[in-house]
Structure 1
Amino acid sequence: MRIYPVHILNTLSAEGLALFGPNFRIEENRAKAHGLLVRSSPVKLAEFPELEAIARAGAGVNNIPLDEATEKGICVFNTPGANANAVVELVFTMLGIWLRHVPQGLDFCQGLSGFAGAQLNAEIEARKKMFRGQELADKTLGIIGLGQIGVRAANLGIHHNMRVIGYDPYPVLENIHRLLPDVRLAQSRQEVLAQADYLSLHVPLNKATAGLVNAEFLAGMKKGAVLLNYARGPIADDEAVRAALDSGHLAAYLSDFPTEQLLGHDKVLFTPHLGASTSESEEHCTAMAVQELKNYLQYGTVTHSVNFPNAESIPAAGSCARLIMINRDVPGMIGLASNILGKHGINIASYTNKSNGTIGYNIIDTQTPVSPEVRREIEAADGVIRVRIIPLNSSSGLP
């Protein structure tokens, strides 16, 4: 029985890790690991020379060097949607806490220990007007980014009797179909900024979104709006946010990512990166990441990768080996692999080819074994990044 060594870089849900079967071993030696499970720790690929795949138990992958991983033929997975409910619940919890002045009310109650009876009630009635807040109903909630988290946030806004308007520059049809009919889709980001009383960010952190919330972005927002960032800290420029808060253009900034520039500001409410910190979310993320790693290492199938195209194929009947060829998306790669296999008398039982415009991913089931020499010959060809050989048997099947 083939054993796949997997390294765990962070503390992850024991229930999720239990899904690894007898074909997998938790490997302490990073140099021997073929799979890596990670949450938030930075990944240094030089420490993992045998690595074939990384699964991030969460949505963001800014702690993983994606370009380097792709160049080395390492598949990187994330777990979209696994923590969506936890993040959305925190967004609405913190918005409600801010609008109802809960922190100030709690502090006030802590100071009432010297009062009793009628005096206590009188003090409460006399001063509770200081904490009069606002309701969510009939306000406009703006959503920037309509992935699984953004869609759930938009739908929950509808359930709170809010007007909801959302925008995504690259909408995924599957996600858009999950929106409630009352959510209005904007044609531009500026349309959302100008209307939102409360604006919630739900975009990934990448080169295009780092510093997205700058002075120009904030100037386009409705005066007196509240900005919520439960996506990633660097999406917002702290100096621009502070300037908008100090001028009164922005009423408040609620974020899950404390920064030294904004800590202590009386219009800022921080939580310590709690978005996915629920027992349910951690279990869901770990379970999904484990399944992604298992399917990739055992069968070469790809789902929810951020750098490889999705590719799934049930092993062909009678096949004894599965060859995985990872290549640059250039012409002639299918013929290259087929010709080399044919030259060595290896019959192809099935061939699946997928591309994402950058990487070509090939799953080739063969009816005879593929030798290390054949693997090396394919891997040495121009355009080929990496080749894997996965032994199969006639009864193999995907879970």
Structure 2
Amino acid sequence: MSKQTVIKPLNAISEKGLNLFTEDYLIDENADQPDAVILRSFNMHEMDLPASLRAIGRAGAGVNNIPLDVCTDKGIPVFNTPGANANAVKELVITSLIASSRQMFDGVAWAKTLIGKGDEVPKLVETGKKQFVGKEIQGKTLGVIGLGAIGARVANDALELGMDVIGYDPFISVDMAWKLSRSVKRVHNIDELFKEVDYISIHVPLIPETKGLLNKAAFEKMKDNVYILNFSRGGLVDDDDITVALEEGTVGKYITDFPNAKTLDMKNTISIPHLGASSEESEENCAMMAAEELMAYLETGNIRNSVNFPDAALPYQGHPRVTAFHQNVPKMVSKITSEVSDVNLNIVDMTNRSYKDHAYTIIDLEGEIAESDFNALVKRLEAIEGMVTTRVIK
């Protein structure tokens, strides 16, 4: 890169992440025309995307705060950091699993009411503790919905604590399948999980297909007094339906990391103020991973962990490189290579990967290439019907 590339943080980002950017980059939180932004929870839906913007790095897994459709239409890849905060969330899930079973949250809140009781406190504790008799998790069955970076860790650790574990994930990746203990019983129908478990921990993204996944119909298939832990997204559980299930005792307790006005008023609900990924280590890991993804894309065009572009990479050997983001339609690759040939340039290496309605092509070219030849090629590529954006990396 011949000039400094401007990175604009939209939230407070860990210094360990920002410090990874080399002297080729300028970190400027006041930039009007940044080349890339890095953020955590900032709401980009209300932001006018600058014309200069080439990439977005989300230091975390969820991207509900980013207008993905707009970014895709403009050819802007959005990166997230799956797995970087997985240990932090897993630890809080396991903590909440045990603490809620032993009625610790309620007990601690009750103990606070004894302030000012003086010497009576020890006696009051001994008589009052009876209302907080809990249950042990050993020998109970945990159902884990979603066996990704977090869900697999939750499942494995629950096994170590003596629980039986049933997992459901029709889209489990090969990598996660290798990491998942063989002792986890996998089912291919979520209803099988519902009818067998004492606890449910949900770890899937919030998309139209999963909104309200745990609803009246699901609760009716579960054991009475099931405990539900939601450390993924609030919308995965239907608030109105679980309110009724809690009142009727179908659901014994609901532990959510996403409080709202309804959950705060629900019976037998523990509302945690979105602390799942709130650890120093998690914030550092996410920031570092997002910075690395942004630099890889800006410097080489390689893509890893984008939520709206396909993963695509070629080893960068210093050859002049052209990237193209385009509609995933027949003959597009042949049209691109034909334009390269028509300006008398040779292809050294290339790759093409698709994701939904779009595809991404990386082409390495041979030899030194004059600026005029590059400009001619870019104009030809941009004229192809279905082309969204092109980039030249040299």
- 1:177 equivalent in structure 2: 178
- 1:344 equivalent in structure 2: 343
Deviations 1:299-350 (A, max 9, x none): 0001111111111111246x2x210011111121222122212211222222
- 2:256 equivalent in structure 1: 255
CA distance in 1, matches of 2:272, 2:284: 21
Once structures 1 and 2 are overlaid, which stretch shifts more, 214-223 or 199-208?
A: 214-223
- 2:217 equivalent in structure 1: 216
Q: 1:4 to 1:222 in 2, by over 3 A?
A: same
- 1:368 equivalent in structure 2: 368
Whether the aligned pair in 1 keeps the contact of 2:166 and 2:185 (CA below 8 Å) is: yes
Read off the aligned partner of 1:345 and give its amino acid letter: N
Give how far 1:357 is off.
Answer: 4.2
CA distance in 2, matches of 1:104, 1:310: 46
Is 1:356 the equivalent of 2:355? yes
Whether the aligned pair in 1 keeps the contact of 2:10 and 2:29 (CA below 8 Å) is: no
Whether the aligned pair in 2 keeps the contact of 1:316 and 1:350 (CA below 8 Å) is: no
Extract unaligned runs of 5+ from structure 2.
none
Once structures 1 and 2 are overlaid, which stretch shifts more, 338-347 or 144-153?
A: 338-347
Whether the aligned pair in 2 keeps the contact of 1:76 and 1:308 (CA below 8 Å) is: yes
- 1:83 equivalent in structure 2: 85
Say how many residue pairs are matched.
Answer: 387
CA distance in 1, matches of 2:30, 2:121: 62
Give how far 1:112 is off.
Answer: 6.3
Whether the aligned pair in 1 keeps the contact of 2:303 and 2:312 (CA below 8 Å) is: yes
Q: 1:108 to 1:211 in 2, by over 3 A?
A: closer
Read off the aligned partner of 1:381 and give its amino acid letter: I
Give how far 1:249 is off.
Answer: 1.0
CA distance in 2, matches of 1:172, 1:147: 8
- 1:395 equivalent in structure 2: none
Give how far 1:121 is off.
Answer: 4.6
Whether the aligned pair in 2 keeps the contact of 1:31 and 1:47 (CA below 8 Å) is: no
- 1:109 equivalent in structure 2: 111
Whether the aligned pair in 1 keeps the contact of 2:142 and 2:199 (CA below 8 Å) is: yes
CA distance in 1, matches of 2:224, 2:300: 54
Whether the aligned pair in 2 keeps the contact of 1:347 and 1:368 (CA below 8 Å) is: no
Once structures 1 and 2 are overlaid, which stretch shifts more, 323-332 or 105-114?
A: 105-114
Extract unaligned runs of 5+ from structure 1.
392-399
Normalised to the residue count of structure 2, the TM-score between the two structures is 0.94
CA distance in 2, matches of 1:326, 1:288: 23
Is 1:382 the equivalent of 2:362? no
- 1:15 equivalent in structure 2: 16
Give how far 1:38 is off.
Answer: 1.4
Read off the aligned partner of 1:52 and give its amino acid letter: R
Give how far 1:108 is off.
Answer: 4.2
State, as a whole percentage, how many aligned pairs show the same letter. 38
Whether the aligned pair in 2 keeps the contact of 1:140 and 1:164 (CA below 8 Å) is: yes
Read off the aligned partner of 1:95 and give its amino acid letter: L
Give how far 1:122 is off.
Answer: 4.2
Deviations 1:210-245 (A, max 9, x none): 222221122122211011110001111110110111
